[in-house]
Amino acid sequence: MSSAAPLVQILANVRHVVLVLSGKGGVGKSTITTGLALALRQAGNKVGILDVDLCGPSIPRMLSVGRPDVHLCDAGWVPVYTDAQKSLALMSIGFLLDDPDKAVVWRGPKKTALISQFVSDVAWEELDVLLVDTPPGTSDEHLAVLENLKKHRVDGAVLVTTPQAVSTGDVRREITFCKKTGVPILGIIENMSGFVCPHCSECSNIFSKGGGEELAKLTGSVFLGCVPLDPQLSSSMEEGKDFMELFSNSATSTAIGGISQTLLQRLQTT
């Protein structure tokens, strides 16, 4: 897009840029990204989400924005706002795909070229935090995101894992990726940490618990907190409803809100 402004200019009004990473798929990375965005907005921040997960751009559904037409301005693509106050902005790579039900069967260079243009050409307005939901793993797509965002800056990465050893092992590789690419690790979140009963609200550890916290200790990383498996959270994301508003008194909402505040503190001190 020849009319797009330089990346530094596009992100000039963005205070903090945070990557959300996972070592593997299926750990709830996009759910955590959406939950953090809703919690940060609830606390009075202006938040943006850049959804570059080619494997499954699911955040438009979680925020109930569907497939809107993406408009252009002189600076680039205009993000979609989820509210009239423009407190939560979203740009998803899913908006640009012709058919959301078809798999993206592209070779690396084509994918990285699209991601590079996508990262560089979104005209963000004033934001306190921009969360970047990345594909799982440590692929070329990650490097494309980093190479472009580093022209501006990346404050750091939040790593999402589940308690099991198979997931924490993959996150170890993600930590190595961050260190090799010079991305500060803001902290680790343990998702699916126990199951909240929808009837009595008791939390049972049906998988295991503590794997993420133990990994943080072993690697010298900050542990941001745990988020349980909660049917109310799952159904809210499926239906595109604001879980943080609907279930503000729940233990899960309190957990996500606490993690978002710890993350903000980390951003202000790193």
- By C-alpha distance, which of 199, 198, 259 is closest to 229? 198
Strand, helix or coil for residue 69: coil
Residues in binding site for [4Fe-4S] cluster = 197, 200
Check if the beta carbon of residue 19 is closer than 8 Å to that of residue 158. Answer: yes
Per DSSP, helices labelled H in the chain are 7-10, 29-42, 59-62, 108-120, 140-149, 165-181, 211-219, 231-239, 243-246, 251-269
How would you write 101-138 as a 3-class SS string? CCCCCCCHHHHHHHHHHHHHCECCCCEEEEEEECCCCC
Q: Which residues contact 194 (CB under 8 A, 6 or more apart)?
A: 203, 204, 205, 206, 207, 209, 226, 228, 229
- By C-alpha distance, which of 202, 205, 183 is closest to 194? 205
Residues in binding site for ATP = 23-30
Euclidean distance between CA atoms 65 and 100, whole angstroms? 14
- By C-alpha distance, which of 21, 16, 17, 15 is closest to 187? 21
Check if the beta carbon of residue 267 is closer than 8 Å to that of residue 18. Answer: yes
Sign of the four-CA dihedral 141, 146, 147, 151: positive
